[in-house]
């Protein structure tokens, strides 16, 4: 069993038993195509929550500073993460992400670039739009809700794919594409929050 599979199992166990994780919309994730997951960001627990309940391995962009730590850096590499400089203007990271999508893999981004202190969804960075426009990946908006407190429910919602081919054909810029993605994340979050009740 790989380090990724072990980590996924342990995270799934933690979120299910301690944080009463509720997972909605897994059926929206294709099993055999490139997928770009774009999620809001409220906690350092978001990456393992988003990835641990999916069958497919999820690759992440993580801030460059984490890879400089002796223990965390090698662990992130083993889990399929790769570094990106602040602002997501890192050409090497962009090439790496596009390469993964061209190979038909799953890439997860947190377009806001940093955690929201208020829980509200902020403005996204253009890197998300870049990946969406330059690849043929299925774009999935992801919404995370909850407080990540023991025995208080946390919810992850995989929304319906965003129809992006028309936007690609129109050759819109990355900033506008990111706005479309962020609006879809907000809509996904709003749809669930209407019926979401903290446990």
Which sequence spans correspond to the domains of the chain?
3-193
Q: Mean of the pLDDT values across residues 43-53?
A: 93
Each residue's pLDDT tens digit, 19-28: 999 999 999 9
The span from the CA of 21 to the CA of 52, in Å, is 11
User: Among all chains, which residue has been given the structure tokens 């403005």?
Assistant: 123
DSSP-assigned letter for residue 162: B
Q: What is the pLDDT of residue 74?
A: 80
Q: Is the dihedral of CA 90, 161, 11, 6 positive or negative?
A: negative
CA distances to 7, 49, 73 from 10, rounded to whole Å, are 5, 11, 19
pLDDT at residue 90, rounded to an integer: 78
* C-alpha 2 chain-centroid distance: 21
Judge whether residue 1 has pLDDT over 70: no
**H or E stretch including 61?**
strand 58-63
| pLDDT for 132 | 96
CATH for 3-193, options being 3.40.50.2000, 3.40.1130.10, 1.10.150.110, 3.40.50.300: 3.40.1130.10
- Position 83 scores a pLDDT of 81
Do the Cβ atoms of 132 and 83 come closer than 8 Å?
no
Asked if the model's pLDDT at residue 199 lies above 50, the reply is no
Please state the pTM of the whole predicted model: 0.91
CA 92, CA 182: separation in Å to the nearest integer? 24
- pLDDT, one tens digit per residue, over 126-181 is 999 999 999 999 999 999 999 899 999 999 999 999 999 888 998 899 999 999 99
């Amino acid at each position: 069993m790989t380090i990724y599979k072990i980590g996924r199992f342990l995270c799934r166990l933690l979120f299910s038993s301690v944080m009463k994780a509720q997972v909605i919309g897994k059926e929206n994730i294709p099993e055999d195509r490139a997928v770009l997951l774009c999620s809001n960001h409220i906690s350092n627990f978001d990456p393992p929550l988003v990835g641990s309940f999916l069958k497919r391995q999820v690759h992440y962009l993580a801030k460059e500073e984490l890879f400089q730590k002796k223990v965390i850096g090698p662990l992130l590499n083993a889990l399929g993460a790769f570094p990106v400089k602040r602002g997501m203007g890192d050409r090497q990271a962009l090439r790496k992400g596009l390469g993964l999508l061209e190979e038909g893999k799953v890439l997860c981004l947190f377009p806001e670039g940093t955690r929201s202190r208020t829980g509200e969804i902020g403005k996204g960075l253009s890197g998300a739009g870049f990946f969406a426009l330059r690849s043929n990946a299925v774009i999935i908006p992801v919404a995370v809700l909850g407080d990540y407190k023991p025995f208080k429910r946390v919810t992850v919602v995989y929304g319906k794919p965003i129809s992006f081919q028309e936007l690609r054909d129109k050759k819109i810029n990355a900033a506008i594409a990111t706005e479309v993605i962020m609006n879809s994340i907000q809509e996904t979050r709003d749809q669930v929050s209407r019926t979401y009740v903290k446990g």
